[in-house]
Amino acid sequence: MTSSSDSPTTRRTVLVTGAAGGLGRAFALGFAAAGDRVAVADRDTDGAAETARLVTEAGGEAWHGPVDVTDPASTERCAAGVAEFGGGRIDVLVNNAAVYGTVTRSPLEEIDPAEWDLVMAVNLKGPWLMTRAVSPHMGAGGRIVNLSSATVYSGSEQWAHYVASKGGVIALTRVMAKELGRREITVNAIAPGFTLTEASRGLMDDAESYGVDRGALRRASQPEDIVGAAMYLAGPDSGFVTGQTLVVDGGRQFI
């Protein structure tokens, strides 16, 4: 689906996974507003189509398609489709897809091993598989942005599988940065604090005020607060920044 007559080579092609809503949708709209061509990928195909519609309604150019980030064949099909949309290349990958709002909070002795495996498959294996599928379509100057979480630094109780998966994303980011750096591709991570998305609001009744008193900035984080970090790490001003994790949480964690 497209809404612009621009040549594919005149605009960057940005792929955002998990973009059917929440942070992913905010990223897609942010990159589109900056003039990028946006590929929206998600298992929720209806949500992905809605995000693409919002992009095109705002004057952007969008592609949307399904992806299961835990399935190598699915990630490769997605990458091939996006590369075709992008005139043969993908310039930016935002690994945003994750299991979050549905994760059960339990003491580590009581976590269901099946849920542990699911969280690791989506949150940690997913960024690896997507990067593996996309990197052959990237050239020098490519950018990869992985989504971790500030909860890695606070060690949130009763959430061992989620915290461990997001800690793994930071470690994976560093390895990717070294390996892909030889091709002049940068890889960085963002570690957002608690951010008001549909999933976050579903986790608790006091989402609007949760943790606000612990921040240097005494307000709740909005999705748009995280978009700017992604734009920086995916943009020209971060060309010599790689293997890093940027915490965006209003000053709740100082590391």
The pLDDT assigned to 4 comes to 39
DSSP H helical ranges for the chain: 22-33, 45-57, 72-85, 113-120, 126-134, 151-154, 160-181, 198-203, 223-233
Q: Mean of the pLDDT values across residues 50-65?
A: 97
pLDDT at 9: 46
- The residue whose two tokens read 């809404």 is 3
pLDDT digits over 178-222, tens only?
Answer: 999 999 999 999 999 876 666 565 565 665 656 667 777 877 768
Domain count for the chain, please give it. 1
CA 13 – CA 31 distance, rounded (Å):
9
Specify the DSSP element, H or E, that contains 247: strand 245-248
CA 245, distance to chain mean position in Å, is 13
Find out whether 120 and 161 touch, Cβ atoms under 8 Å.
yes
Residue 181: give its domain's CATH number.
Answer: 3.40.50.720
- 17 and 69 in contact (C-beta within 8 Å)? yes
Structural domain includes residue 2: no
Q: Residue 93: is its pLDDT beyond 70? A: yes
100, 153, 162, 210: which is the annotated catalytic residue?
Answer: 162
pLDDT in tens, 17-54: 999 999 999 999 999 999 999 999 999 999 999 999 99
Does the annotation mark 232 as catalytic? no
Is the pLDDT assigned to residue 6 strictly greater than 60?
A: no
d(CA 146, CA 173): 7
Contact 227, 26 (CB under 8 A): yes
For range 213-240, the mean pLDDT: 88
Q: Which pLDDT score is estimated for 203? A: 64
Quickly count: other Cβ atoms within 10 Å of residue 68's Cβ. Answer: 19
Q: Given the DSSP bridges, would you call strands 186-192 and 245-248 parallel, antiparallel or unpaired?
A: parallel
Q: What is the mean pLDDT of the chain?
A: 90
* 1 in any annotated domain: no
Distance set, CA 110 to CA 107, 146, 158, 184, 191 (Å): 5, 29, 9, 44, 26
pLDDT of residue 97: 97
Examine the pLDDT at 65 and tell me if it is beyond 70.
yes
Query: Is residue 255 a part of any domain in this protein?
Result: no
pTM across the whole model: 0.91
> Which tens digits make up the pLDDT trace of 153-178?
988 888 899 999 999 999 999 999 99
Residues with Cβ within 8 Å of 125's Cβ and at least 6 positions away in sequence, in order, are: 69, 70
92 located within any domain = yes
Name the residue with higher pLDDT: 53 or 104: 53
Tokens read off for 92: 């930016």
Containing domain of residue 222, as a range? 8-248
